[in-house]
Amino acid sequence: MTTSLTFFGGLHSVGGVQILYGHNNTGLLFDAGISHHDLFQAPFIHLKEPLSRPMPHRELRQYLLTRMAPPIFGLYDQKELGSLTEQDLLRIWGKTSFPAFDHMHVFVSHIHQDHMALLPFLHAGITVHMHEDALGVYNALTEAGYYDGTNAVIAPFQSNEKIMMDGIELQTLEVDHNTPGASGFILKEEGFTLANTADWRTHGPHGERMEHFITQCQQEDVDILITEATRVNKKSITTRQKNTPEADFFKQYMQLIENAQALVYLLTLPLDAERMAGIMKKTKASGKTLVLEEKTALFWNEIIANNVCSLAEDPVLQDENLFSVLEPDSLTKQKLPYPARTVSEITQTKQNYVLHLHYTSVPYLAEFEKLGPSVSENSTMIHADAPVHQNHLQNWLDEFQISYHNISTKGHAAPHEITKLTERIAPGVVVPVHGRHPHLVDSKSVKKYLPERGETLTQDTLAEILS
């Protein structure tokens, strides 16, 4: 029996966690995305930067050559690799070999780009495991045209399911993050237990999920705990970071839109399906009309069709007047039951609308602010957990004197929560990933291990670390 753990990504970076667990002839890769703010940017939905994206049809090759994708040739479609060889990558990584397994599986913790952007490049023989709600989100993204699909076989699971393979027991545990189906896991083999939180928080609508995760870990006597450390930084050593509960977000949102006497712009992540559902219901209750761009409307229609988070069971969300679609093309009109709105219609009665924009659609402001009857009040922009280039956005806000309100709640755990979780689980070793400053994680009495990029921990080195 042989066991190994290789860290290809997610070290001293946000996102791009690529951890390869090996047992006998089975390899399990945990997450298949790329990190933010590296040579290439993770292709954020609604925030695409042409100058920092790989060349079309050469993406995988360029990710591999810059060490942004795990160098596991058995994962990928050969046509995506082209003439690239394993020897090329061994030279780049300074290795004589990479771990190789007869049977490869990929576990995707959630549908954020820094965790799943490599899915389109996997070959058809790979099995990808993800929560059924995460699959619903992924299907909605591909149907709406945000992402290419994957040739891999997707095996959906539910929370608290146990997956057995080659002497490994993998327990799936849904965690609280700002997208449906985010999941951590507890992996057990004879004499060894590994737990991974994935991305998590406690201040969202499902804080109880993390309590359940902790309880399950306590029962299993965890050897190695892997946790995200996104919000850990130098300032967090001396300043306790505050969390904003999701309920407070909706209070602030309602107050802002009810007080607005002109157009309201909204920047928030459509991937946060539960929040979007709440926004739709709150906006309708206020008497205003929410307007979505057509891609977002297509995405939302698929979320309902896929019954993500059981949202389709909410009769309010079946209302065909729940929102309108901004100038859809004829094909989109045929697919969607929701009414259409033109720029001209909206600019005639701006105070009646909340317009959900993508960051790349901010130039719409030129039309909405300059067309239609003059109004005495300034427009309002509500920014909530959506990626933007703040300096560039500020130029638009200044140009049109738009009132700006950031009511983001953050999708990740605060540093003191990571410390508390580590203390309560009390593993043999904690490994912080998915953060730029993992060495600053306060693990109290729990031993902390900071692996190097590309480092493989064998059965012997694991035993030594745990001793």
Which amino acid, residue 223? Answer: D
pLDDT per position as a tens digit, 326-376: 999 988 888 899 999 999 999 999 999 999 999 889 999 999 999 999 888
pLDDT per position as a tens digit, 411-423: 999 999 999 999 9
Domain ranges of the chain: 3-236+411-466, 246-406
Which residue did the predictor score with more confidence, 236 or 86?
Answer: 86
With the CA atoms of 78, 81, 85 and 90 taken in that order, what torsion angle do they form, in degrees rounded to the nearest 10? -120
CA distance 168 to 1: 12
Percent of the chain with pLDDT over 70: 97
pLDDT per position as a tens digit, 120-176: 999 999 999 999 999 999 999 999 988 889 999 999 999 999 999 999 999 999 999
With the CA atoms of 199, 202, 204 and 207 taken in that order, what torsion angle do they form, in degrees rounded to the nearest 10? 110
- Residue 434 DSSP code: S
Mean pLDDT of 261-270: 96
Task: Check whether 43 has a pLDDT greater than 70.
Answer: no
Task: Check whether 387 has a pLDDT greater than 70.
Answer: yes
Task: Check whether 272 has a pLDDT greater than 80.
Answer: yes
Largest Cα span, the chain:
75
Mean pLDDT of 256-269: 97
CB 17 within 8 A of CB 106: no
Angle at 240 between CA 234 and CA 245, to 5 degrees: 125
Instruction: Tell me the pairing of strands 224-228 and 192-196.
Output: parallel
Closest CA to 278 of 242, 236, 250: 250
Reported confidence tier of residue 315, pLDDT bands at 50, 70, 90 = confident
Which residue did the predictor score with more confidence, 55 or 398?
Answer: 398
Which residue did the predictor score with more confidence, 318 or 192?
Answer: 192
> 10 Å Cβ neighbour count for 424?
12
Task: Check whether 119 has a pLDDT greater than 90.
Answer: yes
Q: What is the pLDDT of residue 38?
A: 78
Instruction: Tell me the pairing of strands 289-293 and 353-356.
Output: parallel
**Could you tell me which CATH number the domain at 3-236+411-466 has?**
3.60.15.10
Q: What is the pLDDT of residue 388?
A: 85
Average pLDDT, the chain: 93
Q: What are the angstrom distances between the C-alpha of 81 and each of 75, 84, 89?
A: 11, 5, 12
H/E stretch holding 8 reads strand 3-9
pLDDT per position as a tens digit, 13-23: 999 999 999 99
Buried b (16+ CB within 10 A) or exposed e, 351-364: eebbbbbbbebbeb
Question: SS3 of 148, please?
Answer: coil
Reported confidence tier of residue 1, pLDDT bands at 50, 70, 90 = low
CB 177 within 8 A of CB 200: yes
CA distance 148 to 363: 26
Residue 222 has φ and ψ, to the nearest 5°, of: -70, 130
Percent of the chain with pLDDT over 90: 84
**Could you tell me which CATH number the domain at 246-406 has?**
3.40.50.10710
Q: What is the pLDDT of residue 50?
A: 47
Q: What is the pLDDT of residue 116?
A: 95
CA distance 457 to 463: 9
- Residue 159 DSSP code: T
CA distance 194 to 5: 10
CA distance 428 to 303: 40
